[in-house]
Amino acid sequence: MSRCVNCSLSLVHPQPRRQVGEITDVMLKILQSWINPATVSTEDLLCQECFIILERTSLTSSSGSVIERVYGHQQVCFVCGSSILRAKTHRVLIDSPEGNVIASCITPQQVHRLERVCLPCWTSAYRTVRRQTQYDQSRQQLILEEEAVTLQGNVDVPTTSRQQLVDASMSSRDPSIPTPPPQPEHQLHHVMNVICNPKIVSRIYKRAAASSRHCIFSECEHTECLLVPSIIKEMLLLDHKLYIPASTRICSHHLNMGAWGELQFHYNDFTGSQMDDMMSIMDRASRRQFDFSNIREMHPHLCHYWLGINPEQFYQLLSHIPQLTHEVPCPSVALSILLVKLRTGDSNERLSTLFRLPRSTLERYMSKARNCLAESFVPLFLGIASFSYFYTNFWHYLQK
């Protein structure tokens, strides 16, 4: 979890943040003196408030003077990093068992400032103490039982009997307290996760982060989160080797802009369920057929992905080149070939596969569409010659 290196506030998206590598040398020295003996790295982060305070301090302080540490956020839970300014909190006593558990989760520099934590962190520490207490009581009862058996028969208690005694003692525990996991907990949990959830690493395909909190485009500050259309997932997987998980979201701005070439993913590990989803997407994409002769029946996102315009704009453009109807059998396909070529820059071999046409036929259709646009569309809407056309239309509009 990303936190401010000065005040320990958790920096969640889209909260503004600054990297330590962006600050000046004077600010870096002041920050190092504040968090000493801990060291500062260029990858550490600062919240916006701490950055402003640090910048002002560097401009007003004199060289060689001792600068008192100032925090951008005073009310912060040191365990989880959340703000407790308006949240339910609990007071922490360092000498209490719960205080010892909480102190083990934070840095030594934060212990002297520890006064309160958020209620979920306190509840977690309380449950940890209860589980440990029950575990200690069970061990003490087991030791007493072993000593009693040893004194009577002067024999050792078998291992199975020990386990039965532990189970019997734990059966009378408080039902609201979960059963303590076997020891050591962290090692066994890590091994079981590796065995049960294996990862598949790919050298070709990348995937987006499986998060629904932000847009798939990095550094996007739009709060609107929409599901990525399945057609866009198919195109990104086939053309860009990018996999979009089911929980990933996108904002309406980037969905309509269509700048898919700017996507940059860094994850190349996939779970088994994600690999199954990728195979189903590829199978669905292989069965899909594109009908460029009838653009109105095409999905709007798919039309914008290939042509860069919506169906209404496509037919409006086609209406300005009526001579294309006499040049090719299907003017919609010819214009689509030219628009796809301009938008994607794909080779003619790949376009011939997409349109299911011979390469010579595809190049002839493309040339016909380009010539018709240059003869009819360009003089009216591009260049200085289009001024009279727009002026005439505007004058007729004023006469109405």
Is 186 among the domain residues?
Answer: no
Return mean pLDDT, the chain: 79
- Which of 287, 322, 355 delimits the end of a domain? 287
Same-domain pairing of 279 and 341: no
Is 346 among the domain residues?
Answer: yes
Is 263 among the domain residues?
Answer: yes
Q: What is the pLDDT of residue 3?
A: 87
Per-residue pLDDT at 155 exceeds 80: no
Is 237 among the domain residues?
Answer: yes
Q: What is the pLDDT of residue 387?
A: 46
- Judged by average pLDDT, the poorest of 141-150, 216-225, 296-305 is 141-150
CB 306 within 8 A of CB 332: no
Using one digit for the tens of pLDDT, what is the confidence trace for 106-135? 887 788 888 899 999 999 999 988 888 888
Quote the domain boundaries for residue 83. 17-120
CA dist 18 and 314 (Å) reads 45
Q: Find the length of the chain.
A: 400
Alpha helices by DSSP H, 47-118: 48-60, 97-103, 108-111
Residue 63's pLDDT band, with cuts at 50, 70 and 90, is low
Please state the domain count of the chain: 3
Q: Of all residues in the chain, what percent carry a pLDDT higher than 70?
A: 80
Please state, as a whole number, how many other Cβ atoms lie within 10 Å of the Cβ of residue 344: 17
CB 70 within 8 A of CB 51: no
Same-domain pairing of 110 and 21: yes
More confident residue, 88 or 64: 88
Same-domain pairing of 277 and 301: no
Same-domain pairing of 29 and 75: yes
Q: What is the pLDDT of residue 397?
A: 45
Please state, as a whole number, how many other Cβ atoms lie within 10 Å of the Cβ of residue 131: 16
Residue 33's pLDDT band, with cuts at 50, 70 and 90, is confident
Same-domain pairing of 255 and 331: no
- Which of 287, 304, 334 delimits the end of a domain? 287
Is 187 among the domain residues?
Answer: no
Same-domain pairing of 303 and 382: yes
More confident residue, 338 or 212: 338
For residue 46, give the 3-state DSSP assignment: strand
Using one digit for the tens of pLDDT, what is the confidence trace for 294-349? 888 787 777 888 888 888 888 888 888 888 888 888 888 999 999 988 888 888 88
Residue 77's pLDDT band, with cuts at 50, 70 and 90, is very high
Residue 243's pLDDT band, with cuts at 50, 70 and 90, is very high
The DSSP code for 295 is G
Per-residue pLDDT at 214 exceeds 60: yes
Same-domain pairing of 379 and 353: yes
Same-domain pairing of 339 and 253: no
Same-domain pairing of 240 and 278: yes
Is 145 among the domain residues?
Answer: no
Residue 18's pLDDT band, with cuts at 50, 70 and 90, is confident
CB 328 within 8 A of CB 335: no
Tokens standing for 89?
Answer: 């909190």
How far apart are the two ends of the chain, measured CA to CA in Å?
Answer: 64
Alpha helices by DSSP H, the chain: 25-35, 48-60, 97-103, 108-111, 119-153, 159-170, 185-196, 230-239, 252-257, 272-287, 300-307, 311-319, 324-327, 331-344, 348-355, 359-372, 378-381, 386-399
Same-domain pairing of 314 and 279: no
More confident residue, 99 or 109: 99
The DSSP code for 17 is E
Q: What is the pLDDT of residue 121?
A: 92
Tokens standing for 158?
Answer: 């078998």
Is 48 among the domain residues?
Answer: yes
Per-residue pLDDT at 374 exceeds 80: yes
**Three-state secondary structure readout of 175-235:** CCCCCCCCCCHHHHHHHHHHHHCCCEECCCCEECCCCCCCECCCCCCCCCCEECCHHHHHH
More confident residue, 379 or 22: 22
Same-domain pairing of 310 and 392: yes
Residues 6+ positions from 248 with CB-CB distance below 8 Å? 208, 209, 210, 211, 212, 216, 228
Residue that has been written with the tokens 């996939």 in this structure: 270
Is 76 among the domain residues?
Answer: yes
Residues 6+ positions from 227 with CB-CB distance below 8 Å? 249, 250
- Which of 120, 150, 172 delimits the end of a domain? 120
Highest mean pLDDT out of 10-14, 68-72, 204-208: 204-208
Using one digit for the tens of pLDDT, what is the confidence trace for 169-204? 555 555 555 555 554 444 444 444 544 456 888 888
CB 117 within 8 A of CB 102: yes
CA torsion angle 218 220 221 226 (round to 10): -110
Q: What is the pLDDT of residue 170?
A: 52
Same-domain pairing of 49 and 89: yes
CA dist 213 and 236 (Å) reads 21
